[in-house]
Amino acid sequence: MSKIFCTFVHKFDNNMKKTFVLCAMGAMMTVSGLLGWGSQAMAANTKKNKAMSVQRVEPLNWWTCMKCPLTLMVYGNDLQDATVTVSASEHSDKGTMHGGEKGLIIKQVRKADSKNYLFIDVDVRLAGTYTFTLKNGKKKTTFQYEVLERKVSNCIRESFSSKDMIYLLMPDRFRDGDPTNNTVAGMNEPCKKGYIHGRQGGDIQGIIDELPHIKELGATYIWPTPLTWSNDTNFSYHGYACADYYHIDPRFGTNDLYKEMVQKAHAMGLKIIMDVVTNHSGIEHWWAKDLPYNDWWHRFWNDEMSASLNDELKEVYVGTNNAFTTVYDVNASQYDRKVNEEGWFDHHMPDMNLDNPDLLQYFKQLYIWWIEWAGIDGLRVDTYPYNEKDPMSQWCKAIREEYPWINIVGETWTRPANQVAYWQSGTKNMDGFDSNLPAVMDFPTEEAIRQALENDGNYWGGGMAKVYDALTADYLYGDVNNLLMFVGNHDMDRFADVVKDNDPRRVMIGHVLIATMRGIPQMFAGDEYMQRSIDRSTGHSGLRQPLPTEGELTEQQKQVYEQMKTLWNWRKNEPVLWSGKTMHFLARDNTYAYVRYNKEEAVFVFINASEETRTIPMAHYQEILGQYAPTGVMPLEGDKTFDLRKDSEAAPLSYVIVKTHK
């Protein structure tokens, strides 16, 4: 893939009164010409340039032997009535004819509602560089498009599973590895270090610099929140209001640096998950002022208002009602279902209409492109239940048909368990719906762990009984080992903030639970140091703070880190924790015991979440432990011997882990 560079050009639009950015492609880039960047740039470019022109083509390139059909979205000026032909470029050594067969065939050219778009369905047969010619009377313009040979290595890889530990980080709030890109001329929001809601300068280079730390901790996967271009005036650091899906935000780095990060992670035995946002784009997306179709976004306002998309829009937009149950509730009204699926996530995050077939195809190609181009290893889908469920099922199916090995986890932020299980493929839903989504996030168990440790738990149904109850719903899921397990993430208060007395012992209990129960554990960056929010009253911004440096750590934080490192590195070598069965035991004294087991070995876990010493009643557990050797070892305590037939005591707020075998 050729390199991409950005030229930042300051222009002034009298209507919008804002600075904007233009992106140009390098000389070797497959799509020629100037790319208009930003909604203002698009509007200004269209008005001032009357000649037919092509300014942007997506996907940026493609490959041979792909199962997903290819549709080019071509944007420019006055393209709607153009005829399109294609030929091999003169400098291409592979081209139009090979064995009597064309290398790239135009199947169909389709108009959009905007006169500035064309959608071109093509049949890809041979690698090469192709020239597309667009004509309308005397008007003519061309662009080049590159088709590469597909890498066999991308067809047979391994994705994240229950044997992994995923390390979640927010790039802007992680580590500033390159201060020179903190503020980029022409972009709406500069770096504001010290301002809790502003950009802090974290970037891809910072992630690369911290790869040794992540590896040492025992993580095997890294999940950065979105790194693609975001151009909101405020809060752009989180990245979920995308303004260009095919390019990395220059304040984070470049497309090439992103690929370099993936490659360096792979070299260290780490893999990368890309954060996917299909439900909404940002209001500053480059297509905002000139949507391809009138129904590209869901519209809850009148035509006059939608024509301007000015500040008044913020007063009339309809937000989602978050009523995920409407998609399967037999008593739900069509109105409530419509607002859930079509309401905007926020006023600056327009809701995408995945019922539009070209938009759905756009998102299929988009993430296939990133997997193929950058070599990423898995996907996480943001706000999954807000999407239209049937198009998203088709999206998941298309991704997994292209990459049968890949895992995809959806953010299914709802409760109770039956509402989460509905979204996991393989669940036996009464309406017959199958999402084709392999993994979901286990919010019910996350909630149970937090509630169990936020107080002393000395009440009926409190404490560890909540965790026990959460696992009683496992029968609902299509695959319990494909549940994402966590005690905190970037959208909720820090775990160390919510546990009673901010006690490091409670912090460790939470992580022991997600490390030893079924599913795929995920840690939020900073939790290895029991990091706390800088100011809980500020909401998300207060908890999303940069990773502490070595000099900022307290002795207590260093001790917690050593315990975390021991726990997670031990888990990497225990297959019984990845795929073993579970038998758990109820107690009403704020303790919890369970055994992860298979035919050859078992891991016994006893949690004492009470503030008193508790007896471990080993006789209670013999129906399963009696099948294994009478003694085991405590792997987190130097393989100290433990008698599995004799009662012992557990200190307040402690855990006991014992490994045994047949």
Residue 266: which pLDDT band, with cuts at 50, 70 and 90? very high
Would you please indicate which residues are annotated as catalytic (active-site) residues?
382, 411
| pTM to 2 decimal places | 0.90
Q: Could you read off the pLDDT of 399-429 as tens digits, one per residue?
A: 999 999 999 999 999 999 999 999 999 999 9
Contacts of 380 (CB under 8 A, 6+ apart): 223, 273, 274, 275, 276, 408, 409, 410, 411
C-alpha–C-alpha distance, residues 143 and 151, integer Å: 25
Q: Tell me what the pLDDT averaged over the chain comes to.
A: 89
Contacts of 398 (CB under 8 A, 6+ apart): 68, 364, 368
C-alpha–C-alpha distance, residues 92 and 474, integer Å: 56
The pLDDT assigned to 41 comes to: 40
Nearest to 652 by CA among 457, 391, 471: 457
Average pLDDT over residues 616-621: 98
The pLDDT assigned to 102 comes to: 84
Residue 90: which pLDDT band, with cuts at 50, 70 and 90? low
Q: Where are the beta strands (DSSP E) in 445-590?
A: 483-485, 520-524, 581-585
Domain annotation for the chain: domains and CATH numbers:
52-150 (2.60.40.10), 166-286+325-551 (3.20.20.80), 577-661 (2.60.40.1180)
| pLDDT at residue 91 greater than cutoff 60 | no
In this structure, the chain runs to a length of 662
Q: Could you read off the pLDDT of 475-493 as tens digits, one per residue?
A: 999 999 999 999 999 999 9
The pLDDT assigned to 300 comes to: 59
Average pLDDT over residues 454-475: 95
The pLDDT assigned to 335 comes to: 86
Task: Find out whether 367 and 264 touch, Cβ atoms under 8 Å.
Answer: no
Q: Could you read off the pLDDT of 361-398 as tens digits, one per residue?
A: 999 999 999 999 999 999 999 999 999 999 999 999 99
The pLDDT assigned to 83 comes to: 96
Residue 33: which pLDDT band, with cuts at 50, 70 and 90? very low
Residue 338 burial by Cβ neighbours in a 10 Å radius (0-12, 13-18, 19+): middle
C-alpha–C-alpha distance, residues 473 and 458, integer Å: 23
Nearest to 228 by CA among 289, 145, 285, 173: 285
Average pLDDT over residues 556-569: 98
Nearest to 521 by CA among 549, 548, 555, 487: 487
